[in-house]
A = this chain, B = another copy of it.
């Protein structure tokens, strides 16, 4: 099929379960909440080489946060045990240390919970305090008091929703990917964890030549290898491909993010082809057909 003159491949994205935590970071201004969130979600593009996948889900006004201050919601995704460890470390090192922050659970209805006991940092000077109906700990620190919840909901979400933006040259593909990321930023419940939300280098499992490598370049999607790789997936005339990878709280929001992202990419001149990545359908329980997005 076609959308706005762009070919939409007859393909589907294959995605996987992951555990997800949603954390609300508030601060004196939106900018300071953002800086803490940015630090806390760095070095978290892919669970393959990073300790977790993480990103900014969205911005919250004071009306939407427990303490009435502007906030940023982040998602952290990983296996269950790793998730708790990463939430603890990232809150302790990147948010408790950041100016004027407070932290609240972003999934108060979730049944599964993890405990993040930062209050021991208070060395006995800490005390309990209710903020906006939430049971928090206040910890005396240099800039006054850090306030935070310590009980966080986690849910089984979806990792690896994806689509490919293919362009007649690199800049067209890049701007198409950028437009997609902009559009996805407006969808609740999802993140795009790669740098700027965009993946420039796709991988396949293992390596044909270097047996010690757990993953290597996916030559089928490399435009410069189009003539050399027999079963290339690079359509004629495509000179660059970017992948948008989406993690989210559930199938619905990942699907909505894919739909918004694909449509936005198709509005950018020079974007010529949209596809999606899967592993034949036997690995991941979630399937998102590109055709179903429209």
Question: Which residues of A line the B interface, CB within 8 A?
Answer: 4, 28-32, 35-36, 38-46, 48-51, 61-63, 67-70, 89-90, 92-101, 120-125, 139-146, 164, 167-179, 182-183, 186, 194-196, 198-203, 207-210, 212-213, 215-219, 221-225, 228, 239-243, 260, 263-264, 267-270
B145, B169, B179, B186: which contacts A172 (Cβ < 8 A)? Answer: B169
Distance A119 CA – B269 CA, assembled complex (angstroms)? 23
Distance A209 CA – B48 CA, assembled complex (angstroms)? 38
Distance A220 CA – B288 CA, assembled complex (angstroms)? 47
Contacts of A208 in B (CB 8 A): 123-124
The minimal Cβ–Cβ distance linking A229 to chain B, given in whole angstroms, is 9
A to B CB contacts below 8 Å, 18 in the list: A30-B182, A39-B43, A42-B42, A43-B51, A43-B90, A49-B89, A69-B267, A121-B203, A123-B219, A140-B219, A141-B201, A142-B222, A142-B241, A143-B240, A146-B200, A168-B169, A170-B172, A170-B269
The minimal Cβ–Cβ distance linking A179 to chain B, given in whole angstroms, is 5
Which residue on B lies nearest to A176, using beta carbons?
B171
Instruction: Knowing A44-B42, A120-B207, A217-B123, say if A101 contacts B170 (CB, 8 Å).
Output: no
Contacts of A124 in B (CB 8 A): 208-210
Instruction: Knowing A39-B195, A40-B43, A42-B41, say if A270 contacts B142 (CB, 8 Å).
Output: no
- B35 lies within 8 A of A213 (CB): no
**Copies of the polypeptide in the assembly:** 4
- B174 lies within 8 A of A240 (CB): no
The minimal Cβ–Cβ distance linking A164 to chain B, given in whole angstroms, is 8
Which residue on B lies nearest to A37, using beta carbons?
B195
- A183 lies within 8 A of B267 (CB): no
Contacts of A48 in B (CB 8 A): 93
Instruction: Knowing A145-B224, A269-B169, say if A182 contacts B70 (CB, 8 Å).
Output: yes
Contacts of A217 in B (CB 8 A): 121-123, 125, 139-141
Distance A85 CA – B218 CA, assembled complex (angstroms)? 24
Instruction: Knowing A123-B208, A213-B121, say if A182 contacts B42 (CB, 8 Å).
Output: no
The minimal Cβ–Cβ distance linking A7 to chain B, given in whole angstroms, is 17
Contacts of A45 in B (CB 8 A): 39, 93-94, 97
- B183 lies within 8 A of A61 (CB): yes
B36, B179, B212, B242: which contacts A99 (Cβ < 8 A)? Answer: B242
Which residue on B lies nearest to A186, using beta carbons?
B61
Nearest 6 pairs of A and B residues by beta carbon: A42-B42, A141-B201, A98-B195, A124-B209, A123-B216, A35-B196
Most B CB contacts (10 A, CB to CB) among A167, A179, A219 go to A179
Distance A264 CA – B28 CA, assembled complex (angstroms)? 9
Contacts of A219 in B (CB 8 A): 123, 125, 140
